[in-house]
A = this chain, B = another copy of it.
Amino acid sequence: MYTIDSKSYPCCTSVTMRFIGGKWKAVILHHLIGGAKRYNELRKVIPTITERTLSLQLKQLEEDNIIDRKVYTEKPPLMVEYTLTDFGKTLLPVLEAITQWGIAAPDNSKKITKN
Protein backbone atom coordinates (compact mmCIF):
# COMPACT_ATOMS: atom_id res chain seq x y z
CA MET A 1 0.00 0.00 0.00
CA TYR A 2 1.23 3.49 -0.89
CA THR A 3 0.22 6.93 0.35
CA ILE A 4 0.39 10.17 -1.65
CA ASP A 5 -1.06 13.42 -0.30
CA SER A 6 -3.02 11.50 2.33
CA LYS A 7 -4.63 9.19 -0.23
CA SER A 8 -4.13 5.43 -0.49
CA TYR A 9 -3.00 3.52 -3.56
CA PRO A 10 -3.19 -0.29 -3.56
CA CYS A 11 -0.19 -1.04 -5.79
CA CYS A 12 2.77 0.35 -7.68
CA THR A 13 0.74 0.53 -10.89
CA SER A 14 -1.83 2.83 -9.35
CA VAL A 15 0.97 5.05 -8.08
CA THR A 16 2.17 5.63 -11.63
CA MET A 17 -1.35 6.34 -12.85
CA ARG A 18 -1.74 8.88 -10.05
CA PHE A 19 1.04 10.87 -11.73
CA ILE A 20 0.43 10.39 -15.44
CA GLY A 21 -3.16 9.16 -15.56
CA GLY A 22 -5.97 11.23 -16.95
CA LYS A 23 -6.57 12.26 -20.51
CA TRP A 24 -3.80 14.76 -21.06
CA LYS A 25 -0.78 14.44 -18.77
CA ALA A 26 1.04 11.77 -20.76
CA VAL A 27 0.39 13.71 -23.95
CA ILE A 28 1.83 16.91 -22.50
CA LEU A 29 4.89 15.09 -21.18
CA HIS A 30 5.35 13.37 -24.53
CA HIS A 31 5.73 16.77 -26.17
CA LEU A 32 8.25 17.92 -23.57
CA ILE A 33 10.61 15.00 -24.20
CA GLY A 34 12.34 16.89 -27.00
CA GLY A 35 13.09 19.85 -24.73
CA ALA A 36 11.54 23.04 -23.39
CA LYS A 37 8.24 24.24 -24.84
CA ARG A 38 6.16 27.36 -24.31
CA TYR A 39 2.48 27.48 -23.42
CA ASN A 40 1.29 28.31 -26.91
CA GLU A 41 3.63 25.80 -28.49
CA LEU A 42 1.96 23.10 -26.42
CA ARG A 43 -1.46 24.35 -27.49
CA LYS A 44 -0.43 24.09 -31.13
CA VAL A 45 0.78 20.50 -30.91
CA ILE A 46 -2.26 19.47 -28.83
CA PRO A 47 -4.99 21.29 -30.76
CA THR A 48 -7.91 19.56 -29.01
CA ILE A 49 -6.98 20.64 -25.46
CA THR A 50 -8.56 23.79 -24.06
CA GLU A 51 -6.57 26.63 -22.48
CA ARG A 52 -8.10 26.00 -19.10
CA THR A 53 -7.37 22.28 -19.07
CA LEU A 54 -3.80 22.75 -20.31
CA SER A 55 -3.27 25.32 -17.60
CA LEU A 56 -4.62 23.05 -14.85
CA GLN A 57 -2.66 20.02 -16.01
CA LEU A 58 0.59 22.00 -16.20
CA LYS A 59 -0.01 23.28 -12.68
CA GLN A 60 -0.53 19.78 -11.36
CA LEU A 61 2.54 18.44 -13.11
CA GLU A 62 4.51 21.31 -11.61
CA GLU A 63 3.17 20.54 -8.12
CA ASP A 64 4.22 16.93 -8.55
CA ASN A 65 7.70 18.14 -9.49
CA ILE A 66 7.49 16.45 -12.88
CA ILE A 67 7.91 19.64 -14.88
CA ASP A 68 9.59 22.95 -14.24
CA ARG A 69 8.07 26.34 -15.08
CA LYS A 70 10.40 29.20 -15.93
CA VAL A 71 9.28 32.77 -16.53
CA TYR A 72 11.65 34.82 -18.68
CA THR A 73 9.99 38.25 -18.72
CA GLU A 74 8.82 40.72 -16.11
CA LYS A 75 6.02 42.37 -18.05
CA PRO A 76 3.68 41.30 -20.84
CA PRO A 77 4.06 39.80 -23.32
CA LEU A 78 5.06 36.97 -21.03
CA MET A 79 7.48 34.23 -21.98
CA VAL A 80 7.15 30.99 -20.06
CA GLU A 81 8.92 27.72 -20.71
CA TYR A 82 8.12 24.26 -19.44
CA THR A 83 10.73 21.52 -19.12
CA LEU A 84 10.94 18.05 -17.60
CA THR A 85 12.62 17.95 -14.18
CA ASP A 86 15.10 15.21 -13.31
CA PHE A 87 12.25 13.42 -11.58
CA GLY A 88 10.09 13.91 -14.67
CA LYS A 89 12.83 12.40 -16.80
CA THR A 90 12.58 9.15 -14.84
CA LEU A 91 9.24 8.77 -16.64
CA LEU A 92 10.95 8.56 -20.04
CA PRO A 93 10.84 4.74 -20.32
CA VAL A 94 7.13 4.80 -19.46
CA LEU A 95 6.35 7.55 -21.96
CA GLU A 96 8.37 5.77 -24.60
CA ALA A 97 6.43 2.52 -24.07
CA ILE A 98 3.13 4.40 -24.22
CA THR A 99 4.13 6.15 -27.43
CA GLN A 100 5.36 3.00 -29.14
CA TRP A 101 2.15 1.16 -28.32
CA GLY A 102 0.07 4.04 -29.67
CA ILE A 103 2.03 3.94 -32.92
CA ALA A 104 1.54 0.20 -33.37
CA ALA A 105 -2.03 0.04 -32.07
CA PRO A 106 -3.87 0.90 -35.34
CA ASP A 107 -2.38 -2.25 -36.87
CA ASN A 108 -3.69 -4.37 -34.00
CA SER A 109 -7.20 -3.02 -33.47
CA LYS A 110 -9.92 -2.31 -36.01
CA LYS A 111 -11.36 0.36 -33.72
CA ILE A 112 -8.48 2.73 -34.39
CA THR A 113 -8.32 4.76 -37.60
CA LYS A 114 -5.36 6.88 -38.60
CA ASN A 115 -6.10 9.96 -40.67
Binding site for B on A (CB under 8 A): 1-5, 8-17, 19, 21-24, 26-27, 30, 45-49, 64-65, 87, 90-91, 93-106, 108-109, 111-115
Contact = CB atoms under 8 A, between A and B. Distances in A.
Contacts of A12: 99, 101-103, 105
A4 B8 CA distance: 33
A90 B104 contact: yes
A30 to B, nearest CB: 4
A80 B34 CA distance: 45
A97 B99 contact: no
A17 B97 CA distance: 12
Contact of A102 (B13, B23, B65, B93): B13
B93 A3 contact: no
Contacts of A14: 23-24, 26-27, 102
A48 B10 CA distance: 7
